[in-house]
Structure 1
Amino acid sequence: MELHQLRYFVAVAKKGSMTHAAASLFLAQPTLSIQIRKLEQEVGAKLFERLARSVVLTAAGAAFLEHAERALAELETGRDRVADVVGLRHGRVAVGVLPSVAAHLLPAVLAQFRAEHPGVAVHLVEHDVSRDFEQLVQAGELDMAVTRMPLTLTGLGARTLVREPIVVLVPPGHPLAGRQGVALHELAGEGFVCMRAGYGVRELTDQLCAEAGFAPDVVIETGQLSIVHGMVRSGVGVALLPRLAAAGAEHAVPVTDPPACRELGVVWRRTALESPPVAAFLERLLAICDDELTPAERGAAGAP
């Protein structure tokens, strides 16, 4: 059964005449008659009773008309919805994001994107484990993700957004609280408040401490960044965090070791950019990061 046959059937039913329907469809009458006969063969019943100068619907034709009209209406609605997505009037973008990024880097992006495309829904998926995002993007569960660089999977598009410095959070009254900077080796005797193993921030803490020649003495592990902040404020220990994750801390001292930074970037599935809402969101994200971050913070440029 072809869609054009449904259109022909509805036109004949409305006009009550093969001749008039053929004229409205810009078809030769024999061609129209052939298509109606093929449709009747497909449904297994006569749809029209042929009279001398007109046609009338049979009982089967009258039953079929309702469904044919509904199918054509749904098709037209579907075309309109596609046009809305292409025109960025509707649609959906699924974005994975680290909690610290969601709170401090994305609000401006979301505000501008929503102002420009209010009909496009943005679904944010927060997760602390960066590497999972790459798999979710590759599997099609996310369109893109703002995550830790460098990538571990191949075949994804990627661009660095920001290289943010690492700071050490210290309790009020701590000897390091008033310092302009601290070297990592100075923290060797401190108790550490950390995210749990497997979290990107924890991997970074372990890596930086190992590079400084010691393993962190972890006194508290948690899955919540807010608990890290609270424990440090209460004097339980110190914490190493990227600048975005340390936002709001009263005593955050920059780490002076040259490699002490976290590199964040956006990764995307290249085929996802065939969706206009996804492509528009990525464009807005890159534009705002280019405009608002300093040259030292900004990652290496690379076209999507």
Structure 2
Amino acid sequence: MELHQLRYFVAVAREGSMTRAATSLFLAQPTLSIQIRKLEQDVGAKLFERLARRVVLTAAGEAFLEHAEAALAEIAHARDRVAAVSGLREGRVTVGVLPSVGAYLLPGVLTAFREEHPGVAVRMVEHDVSRDFERLVQDGELDMAVTRLPATLAGLGCRTLVREPIVVLVPPGHPLQGRAGVALRELADENFVCMRGGYGLRDLADGLCDQAGFAPRVVIETGQLSIVHGMVRSGLGVALLPRLAATGAEHVVPVTDPDARRELGVVWRRTALESPPVAAFLERLLAAGDAGRG
């Protein structure tokens, strides 16, 4: 059974005449008659009774007409929905973000995108382990992800959005408070408040301390960035964080080591860009990254 056969059948049912239906469809009448016979063979029943000057639906034809019209209406609706997605009037984009990034880097992008394309839904998925994002993008669970670079999986598109400095959060009254900068080696004897092992921010802090020649003396581990901020404010230790993750902290001192940076970027599945909403959101995100670097 072919879609065009359903259209032909409905046209004949509405016109009550093979001749008039053929004219409305811009078909030769013999061609139309052949297609109707093929459809009747497919459904296993006569759909029309051929009279002298007209055709009328059989009982089987009347039963079939309701479903044929519904099927054609659904297909027309499906085409309208596809056109709406292609025209960015509706659709969906799923974006993975690190908790330390989503609240600070994306609001402006989301606001601008929603103003341009209010019918497109954007779903943000937070995840603390940046290396998992690439797999989720590759597996199709996410369209793209804003994550720590460098990317490791081949076959994904990747662009840098921001290179942000590392800072140290210090408690009120700490000797480093008010300093213009601090070298990592100066923190070797400090107590540290850190994210738990396995989190991207913990891996970053451990790696920086290792480069400076010491292992951090961790006194508090947590899975919540807000708790890191609270524990530092309470005087339990210092914390190494990227600038975005340190937003809102009262006492922040820049780290002067030249390699003390976090590179954030966006990774995407190339085939996902076949979706106009995904391509439009990526374009907006990359433009924001270019503006921020400028």
TM-score exceeds 0.5: yes
For residues 178 and 7 of structure 2, the distance between their equivalents in structure 1, rounded to whole angstroms, comes to 78
Per-residue CA deviation, residues 276-299 of structure 1 (Å, 9 max, x unaligned), is: 1011001111112222x244xxxx
Match for residue 205 of structure 1? Answer: 205
Taking the TM superposition and a 5 Å limit, the aligned residue runs for 1:63-102 are: 63-102=63-102
For residues 210 and 151 of structure 1, the distance between their equivalents in structure 2, rounded to whole angstroms, comes to 22
Match for residue 35 of structure 1? Answer: 35
Taking the TM superposition and a 5 Å limit, the aligned residue runs for 1:224-263 are: 224-263=224-263
Aligned 8 A contact 2:146 2:266 in 1: yes
For residues 273 and 26 of structure 1, the distance between their equivalents in structure 2, rounded to whole angstroms, comes to 38
For residues 236 and 46 of structure 1, the distance between their equivalents in structure 2, rounded to whole angstroms, comes to 85
Per-residue CA deviation, residues 22-43 of structure 1 (Å, 9 max, x unaligned), is: 1111111111111001000000
Amino acid across the alignment from 1:156? L
Amino acid across the alignment from 1:164? E
Taking the TM superposition and a 5 Å limit, the aligned residue runs for 1:142-157 are: 142-157=142-157
Q: Tell me if 1:134 matches 2:134.
A: yes
Consecutive unaligned residues of structure 1, counting only runs of 5 or more, are 296-304
Amino acid across the alignment from 1:283? E
Match for residue 214 of structure 2? Answer: 214
- Give runs of ≥4 in structure 1 deviating > 6 Å: none
Per-residue CA deviation, residues 82-132 of structure 1 (Å, 9 max, x unaligned), is: 000000000000000111211111000000000000000000001111001
Match for residue 51 of structure 1? Answer: 51
2:240 match: secondary structure: strand
Consecutive unaligned residues of structure 2, counting only runs of 5 or more, are none
For residues 294 and 173 of structure 1, the distance between their equivalents in structure 2, rounded to whole angstroms, comes to 34
Considering only aligned residues, what root-mean-square deviation do their CA atoms show, in Å? 0.7
Match for residue 298 of structure 1? Answer: none
% identical aligned pairs: 82
Per-residue CA deviation, residues 64-97 of structure 1 (Å, 9 max, x unaligned), is: 0000000000000000000000000000000001
Aligned 8 A contact 2:165 2:260 in 1: yes
| CA positional deviation for 1:178 | 1.4
Amino acid across the alignment from 2:245? A
Amino acid across the alignment from 1:285? L
Amino acid across the alignment from 1:114? R
Per-residue CA deviation, residues 179-204 of structure 1 (Å, 9 max, x unaligned), is: 11111111111111110111110000
Per-residue CA deviation, residues 153-190 of structure 1 (Å, 9 max, x unaligned), is: 11100001111000000100000111111111111111
TM-score scaled by structure 2? 0.99
